Structure 1
Amino acid sequence: MDPYDQWLILHSGLANTVGTADPDEDGRTNFAEYAFGGNPALADPVPWSVGTSGANFVFSWLQRTGGSVVYEVQECADLAAGSWANSAAVVAPVTGIVAPDGFEWKRISVPAAGRKFYRLTTVPQAQILSFAPLSAKSYGFPSFTLTASSSSGLPLVYTSSHPEVATISGNTVNIIGIGTTTIRASQAGNSTYIGATEVARTLTVAPRTSLTVNAKTDFGAVGDGVADDTVPLQNALNYLSANLVMDGGGCLVLPSGTYRITRRLKFEREALPHGLNQGVTLRGAESAGIGATILYAATQEGALFFNVNDTEGHFFQFGVRIQDLQIQAGAADAGAAIEIQRMPTADTIQSVIPLIKNVAITRDTPFK
């Protein structure tokens, strides 16, 4: 089969297979495309033209200047796959033609005797990613931007190995939880650049070391002895729990006043990791007298409650501090107490007792 017929089969689906036709309407006939290894169904990415000079063919093209694109002239005796090789033809500038800004005309002149095919290609270049190590963050740290870059200037793609620790949207990191995740930067390349070697960085998210909230100003507790403050107080404790504060850095401040509670205030965290992570303080103004902070237990359920050891053996409640307040029973069957469940050993009790400081438990009605 004639090489031209083979070429037509390779590029099947042409609107017109006649040698003088121009199915892609880029100004080059099928024969011209064939002679220079092109695809007649697609417009050529590099503008080029063909002419003659004596016994030579002149192949000229417009290419970018001052950029990173590397152009290469290739030739082959037929169009068999894998037969293209770099041409020894000398590339020279084209004079007398004005090129657009940022471009220049180049050409080769090759003998017309003997059949060869020529094409102009671009050689993908290597690119290098720069990605500085990531500093450790604390839970609650605001979203931040990744600043890795490629020597190519192409945009990067980021991934996080543990989305429960951090997620990524574009180049913005959103901290979700505590732990460690690997953030990878990659660049797949294009016709000018080959894909870059991926770079991985470790991001460590630690628990907060400090977070103080106010029962009244932050969570709407009233503290007048009439309004039911159970929900705002529990919401405050839940907030400290959810924000994973540890090492004594979480504190719920109860300004002076009487806070009416109608069910247990629970010091616990249901989701993993359980507990309040070793360090939440419930701090009032004073345990007695004018300006005291009073937790007014209006029902049998009105008590402070936390597990020191849950059924799975998790000891996450160590470090809870309750200080400078009064727990007062407001009814005969009210539960004015600090209830501690599942303390299996004496060592556990010794670990908890010192964390209760300047706390008075009183009753304004006879015990029922």
Structure 2
Amino acid sequence: MFYRNSSTEMISEGFTKATEKINNNDVSGLQELLKSHEVEIDEEDDHGMTLLQHAAFKGKKELCQLLLDLGADPNGGHHEHQYSALHFAALSGNLDICQQLLHCGSKPDALNSVGRTATQMAAFVGNHGVVSVINNFIPRTDIEQYTVVCKDETEPKLPPAAAPALHKFVMQVNLHPVHLLLTVQKLPLLSDNLSKVGHVLELLSENQMKRSHEANEILSLKYHYLRFLVERLAKEQQQHSDKPVVELINQYVKAFLKPRTSDGFPEFMDNFIRESVRTFPFKETTVFRQLLVNLSKTKQSLDSQLALSLLSSCINGQRGFQDDDACATCGQEKVPSKCSICKSVQYCNRDCQKIHWFIHKKECDKLAKQFKNLEIKSQNSQANVEANQ
């Protein structure tokens, strides 16, 4: 048997076996060990770490899910430096584990011994994807509360069937308006209830500023931005009731993508985002003031930061660099495909490529020639290096 550093409380040999299973990513082995009761689900080692914390730190997604399914406390443990399982997941950089823990009730505002949250620790080590995931997490119950008929009401503010769709919508990390519009298009229960969705988003934004504990200005701003987009789409729907919402979304998408003739700047999208920020009702908030100052310093030109970039940084956290492999249509990062002709422009899929073609067709041949010239130069350079060896 093993003992804690300065305690008479014994730690089972089963705990050591369990950590070995975690290190080896042995899901079935850990499951059998837990079933045999050789180790308790929330048992701690001499550093106060639980099995879930070990699995989160090692980035073992399947093992974390197993432990959570078997009842592990997502906020358990008494780590010597007060790190939670979410802290460890944030440090490991595993987005899926962070989402698992958050969905199971892990507290994103828990502080370690130096007063840092999991989000702050993730930012410190450069795991910006984790920062985005935690900042954008919204409990399902926040949405579901509006599916209940309240006193003096004849129907809920949101149809119960639409709650999962709205939750998926508000959890989006990519704030590009085209991505959000395409998300609405894929969720008919949203597009069929635009006015109600807009109203619920307004209430969600207000509630973030009325919380009994610290107000969440960033989440309030995000809800407002989503509401601004949804209400604009709802207005288009009212004005063109003869057109299906899919057609309206496609038209709106093209408006966002259409560049300014003189220099290719996405003026419509930039103006839209600036207006969404200006209409944020909580003018006294720090997030609004800082964002407004940053926008006022930014010119609407290709050599300046886009309003979308400023808004995304505000909500998702600052990043040391911006990926250059984003989809040209919806802004989704780390996309798998490129235009087969010019091999220079990235897309999520064929659908995004088709949407963007009305713009890309004007420059595809030119980009293809540039790519070919670069390829030839690279080959010649490599040949010269080999010849001089």
What range describes the TM-score normalised by the shorter chain of this pair? Answer: under 0.3
Name the TM-score, length of structure 1 as normaliser. 0.24
Greater fraction strand? 1
Q: Which has the higher helix share?
A: 2
Higher Cα Rg: structure 1 or 2?
A: 1
